[in-house]
């Protein structure tokens, strides 16, 4: 009996690397029934939305999905389809391995890092207030009243929620992943010295969770700015990194740069009973139809 997997070609270069990936997977001989569903900027005119309900229904039914890249407009337009899918399906763990492969050009060798990124909270939660709106003015006044600090009236506001429950499950996921895959160390990354009530909470919860794995997996902490330098200077010292959402996104690109670029960087978005797999890179619309893009990350 074949496995039924939701297949989302995406937009930009998505359809062509999806086609290449599908050929490779089919060539393994594993029996797969591909259930193709459409999402992204290319289907806006057809469905009136970049994320039709049929896409989420298909993934909820099949539990496993493979997705090509989908365009996220910069600074305007619809919000990220990728972020929306992760939140709607509660795919709380974003797992991005960065590993050296022989024959791939890179300044480094023998890199073997795994980014475990919290996927539903932090500044990617999508709680934003646009500059000049009435509700933004009201919020600024309320914040000033509660905090005693002034905010420029022409500001846009983003809210950064980090919870005990959200942090606990992502750090537990990182440690369980390390145990299962015989990794040696988990490093919690934050900016807790500055953002004491959000990143500070992340770090304190991570420390508590780590105690349950005492002796099995080494645990350490790094500030995100220092972590960037450490990864460039001596990446061999690190193994599994667990981070809040935004830092995880940024550092996974940095780590991809260590192994030859985003064309070599896969990603998995994993929830309690559902998983969505994708390349880490974007849709690169300027390369659409030119047969120039490396499909390895998606394969």
Q: Which residues have a catalytic role annotated?
A: 124, 191, 225, 249
DSSP 8-state code for residue 185: E
Query: DSSP string spanning 199-230?
Result: HHHHHHHHHHHHHTTTTTSEEEEEEHHHHHHH
For the chain, where are the alpha helices, taking DSSP H only? 14-27, 44-47, 53-62, 81-88, 134-147, 164-180, 199-211, 224-233, 245-258
Residue 75 falls in which region: left (phi positive, over 0), alpha (psi -120 to 50) or beta:
left
Angle CA 277–288–79, to nearest 5: 55
Query: DSSP string spanning 260-297?
Result: T-GGG-EEEEE-SS-EEEEESS---GGGTTSS-S--TT
Q: At what angle do helices 81-88 and 53-62 cross, to 10 degrees?
A: 50
For residue 264, the cross-strand partners are: none
Strand 93-99 vs strand 64-67: parallel, antiparallel, or unpaired? unpaired
State both tokens at 254. Answer: 């940095």
Identify whether the C-beta of residue 98 lies closer than 8 Å to the C-beta of residue 252. Answer: yes
Half-sphere exposure of 79 (CA within 13 A, CB side): 10
What is the C-alpha separation between 169 and 202, in angstroms, rounded? 11
């Amino acid at each position: 009996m074949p496995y039924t997997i939701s297949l989302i070609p995406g937009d930009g270069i998505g359809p062509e690397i999806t086609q290449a990936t599908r050929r490779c997977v089919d060539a393994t001989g594993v029996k797969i029934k591909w259930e193709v569903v459409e999402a992204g900027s290319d289907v806006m005119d057809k469905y009136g939305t970049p994320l039709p309900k049929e896409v989420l229904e298909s993934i909820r039914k099949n539990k496993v999905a493979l997705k090509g890249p989908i365009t996220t407009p910069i600074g305007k337009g619809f919000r990220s389809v990728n972020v929306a899918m992760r939140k709607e399906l509660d795919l709380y763990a974003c797992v991005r391995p960065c590993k050296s492969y022989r024959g791939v050009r890179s300044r480094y060798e023998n890199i073997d890092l795994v980014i475990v990124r919290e996927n539903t909270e932090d500044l990617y939660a999508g709680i934003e207030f646009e500059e000049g709106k009435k509700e933004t003015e009201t919020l600024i006044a309320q914040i000033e009243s509660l905090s005693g600090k002034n905010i420029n009236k022409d500001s846009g506001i983003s809210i950064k929620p980090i919870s005990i429950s959200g942090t606990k499950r992502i750090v537990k996921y990182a440690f369980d992943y390390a145990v299962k895959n015989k990794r040696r160390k988990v490093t919690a990354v934050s900016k807790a010295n500055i953002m004491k009530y959000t990143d500070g909470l992340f770090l304190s919860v991570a420390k508590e969770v780590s105690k349950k794995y005492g002796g099995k997996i080494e645990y350490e902490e790094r500030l995100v700015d220092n972590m960037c330098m450490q990864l460039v200077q001596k990446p061999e010292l690190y193994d599994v990194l667990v981070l809040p959402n935004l830092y995880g996104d940024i550092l996974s690109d940095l780590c991809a740069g260590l192994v030859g670029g985003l064309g070599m960087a896969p990603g998995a978005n994993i929830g309690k009973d559902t998983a969505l797999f994708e390349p880490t890179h974007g849709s690169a619309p300027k390369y659409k139809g030119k047969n120039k893009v490396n499909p390895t990350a998606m394969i």
